[in-house]
């Protein structure tokens, strides 16, 4: 039973913003007269998901017990805060004003840290680039990246509409009352909100800005790390559906943070988790073992003690990762790892790599000059599914793709059973040579671990939209029939492929509904419903050496100590 006597809560404190709007904050303090508790460091979380909830109360109770003030605030336009909620666009300046208000209160000693996950993580970055003077550190969990880093399609994922529905109005809306699978099928994309039964102007605005333009630039923090001057604890999981941002942010701050203290004091913590980190040892059908769950709150407390209380603590490695397959934690000094052997695994076939029953193979041997290409038809009316629950709470996981790889519009390339274990830890990239009969189309790549029992575990994946092959700022249609080289960022993983397992790469042209379907017409994105079937050709000969580039980590040998 929670003991309410150990703290007091000042509900609905009105926090003024520079434009006259007030935001609502609940302030958690130790029990007793305000005059007697003294000045303490402050931890702030700002949320669109309602500040008055059990999770926030439990976090506040924990940190207050260890000598902090905890402030939970509804963002502009949500909960008890005034104003209109426009996701992300007001959060930088509002965050600045909120931090400085906390620093000025009589219970504050002027040292302010922030914490939050997902939306609450990204808005910490948008605040930090504004450089509030009293911000000393951040703990950022599973933050979204800059626009189009996660979804390089020019338009939002269909599943983003689920989130926009959830945060419509001032209170959280029930996602379970909508048939999302039916909604995602709707075309054109721009009117998909009608299928929800709700007018969502933000959805339509995002589709109208179908490339990286001036509309999106205020939300780009990953090009402004030199403006961030504080140590950051970065936390995510290999199966976080926004995972790509966390390692990027750690590496970006280490290289380009705004001062030496910031550059030298970043820490990365990556578990075997999904978007809801540190919840369970099991994700989907894969159990990662008893070590998968850690004392994450203790890690956070140690971080705050170091940067808000200046308590000298035993130094920790800047990187701590959970290595799947072996299911152990390991300390490292950098990301990506300095000892990485970037290894090309080339695509091979006799021209029939269609499905897992085809002749596609994967090896470190360079392709022959006359190796035939593979072909398949991509029909947007029959897209390759991406395995996921229908809501946006968690998109994908370590799912079994054996059934989907029966399809002929999925090319599968696989190694022979491994005679020695292979560790792949770091960013994964695919260099793909391809042509299409369409003026615009998509290519998807997925890395999998094929178990001896036939389970085909998704590890990581990515995609490229042909019109954005040269970047999100300069779309250009392709010439049908011409071979192009595409680079596909498949994000990151840390996996030991055990003896007897096989490394597999799957290539297709859809992953629905994680990404919207490319309709293959070259028409304005999201505005039309007309479809065309595209004939896709994947090349892997000496002149077109398609390959997945894997970050292979040398294995320890008998007598050597493995780094832990």
- Tell me, yes or no, if 240 is annotated catalytic: yes
From 24, 81, 108, 118, the catalytic residue? 118
- The question of whether 275 is a catalytic residue gets the answer yes
Q: Is 214 among the residues known to form the active site?
A: no
Closest by alpha carbon to 111, among 139, 133, 141?
133
Long-range contacts, stretch 87-90, CB < 8 angstroms, 24+ apart = 87/48, 87/119, 87/164, 87/167, 87/202, 88/119, 88/122, 88/123, 88/126, 88/219, 89/218, 89/219
Strands in 217-351 per DSSP E: 232-237, 266-271, 282-283, 286-287, 319-323, 328-332, 341-348
Q: Among 97, 240, 374, 461, which one carries the catalytic annotation?
A: 240
Among candidate residues 160, 275, 501, 540, the one labeled active-site is 275
3-class secondary structure, 306: helix
Question: Cis link prior to 140 (omega < 30° from 0)?
Answer: no
Q: How far is CA 244 from the centre of its chain?
A: 5
Is residue 212 within 8 A of residue 473, CB to CB? The reply is yes
CA dist 349 and 484 (Å) reads 19
CB 529, CB 418: distance < 8 Å: no
User: Are 257 and 288 contacting, i.e. CB atoms less than 8 angstroms apart?
Assistant: no
Angle between helices 296-308 and 54-65 (to 10 degrees): 50
Residue 27 CB-half CA count within 13 A: 22
Pull the structure tokens for residue 286: 């894969």
What does the DSSP assignment read for 208-245? HS-SS-TTTGGG--TT-GGG--S-EEEEEETT-TTTTH
Task: Indicate which residues carry an active-site annotation.
Answer: 118, 240, 275
């Amino acid at each position: 039973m929670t003991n309410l006597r150990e703290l007091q809560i000042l509900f609905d404190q009105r926090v003024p913003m520079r434009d006259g709007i007030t935001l609502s904050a609940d302030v958690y303090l130790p029990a007793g007269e305000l005059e007697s508790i003294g000045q303490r460091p402050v931890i702030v979380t700002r949320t669109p998901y309602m500040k008055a909830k059990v999770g926030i109360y439990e976090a506040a109770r924990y940190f207050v017990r260890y000598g902090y003030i905890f402030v939970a605030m509804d963002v502009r336009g949500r909960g008890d805060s005034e104003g209109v909620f426009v996701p992300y666009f007001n959060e930088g300046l509002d965050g600045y004003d909120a931090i400085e208000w906390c620093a000025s209160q009589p219970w504050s000693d002027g040292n302010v840290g922030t914490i939050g996950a997902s939306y609450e993580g990204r808005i910490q970055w948008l605040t930090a680039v504004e450089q509030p003077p009293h911000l000393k550190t951040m703990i950022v969990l599973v933050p979204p990246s800059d626009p189009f880093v996660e979804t390089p399609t020019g338009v939002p994922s269909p599943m983003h509409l689920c989130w926009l529905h959830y945060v419509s109005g001032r209170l959280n809306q029930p996602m379970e009352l909508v048939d999302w699978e039916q909604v995602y099928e709707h075309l054109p994309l721009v009117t998909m909100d009608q299928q929800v039964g709700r007018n969502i102007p933000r959805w339509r605005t995002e589709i109208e800005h179908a490339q990286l333009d001036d509309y999106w630039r205020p939300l780009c923090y990953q090009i402004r790390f030199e403006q961030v001057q504080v140590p950051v604890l970065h936390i995510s999981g290999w199966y976080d559906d926004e995972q790509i941002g966390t390692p990027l942010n750690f590496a970006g701050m280490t290289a380009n943070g705004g001062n030496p203290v910031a550059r030298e004091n970043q820490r990365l913590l990556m578990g075997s988790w999904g978007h809801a980190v540190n919840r369970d040892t099991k994700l989907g059908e894969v159990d990662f073992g008893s070590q998968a769950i850690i004392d994450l709150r203790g890690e956070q407390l140690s971080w705050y003690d170091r940067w808000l209380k200046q308590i000298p603590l035993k130094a920790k490695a800047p990187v701590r990762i959970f290595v799947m397959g072996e299911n152990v934690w390991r300390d490292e000094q950098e990301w990506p790892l300095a000892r990485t052997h970037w290894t090309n695994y080339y695509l091979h076939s006799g021209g029939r790599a269609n499905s897992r029953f085809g002749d596609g193979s994967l090896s470190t041997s360079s392709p022959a000059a006359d190796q035939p290409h593979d072909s398949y038809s991509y029909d947007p009316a029959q897209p390759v599914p991406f395995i996921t629950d229908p809501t946006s709470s968690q998109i994908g996981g370590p799912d079994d793709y054996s059934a989907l790889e029966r399809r002929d519009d999925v090319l599968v390339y696989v190694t022979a059973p491994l005679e020695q274990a292979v560790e792949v830890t770091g960013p994964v990239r695919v260099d793909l040579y391809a042509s299409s009969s369409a003026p615009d189309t998509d290519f998807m790549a997925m890395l999998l671990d094929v178990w001896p029992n036939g389970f085909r575990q998704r590890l990581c994946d990515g995609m490229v939209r042909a019109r954005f092959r040269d970047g999100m700022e300069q779309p250009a249609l392709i010439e049908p029939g011409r071979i192009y080289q595409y680079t596909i960022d498949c994000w990151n993983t840390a996996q030991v492929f055990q003896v007897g397992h096989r490394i597999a790469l799957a290539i297709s042209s859809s992953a629905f509904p994680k990404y919207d379907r490319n309709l293959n017409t070259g028409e304005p994105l999201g505005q039309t419903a007309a479809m065309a079937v595209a004939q896709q050709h994947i090349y892997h000969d000496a002149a077109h050496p398609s390959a997945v580039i894997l970050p292979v980590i040398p294995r320890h040998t008998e007598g050597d100590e493995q780094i832990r």
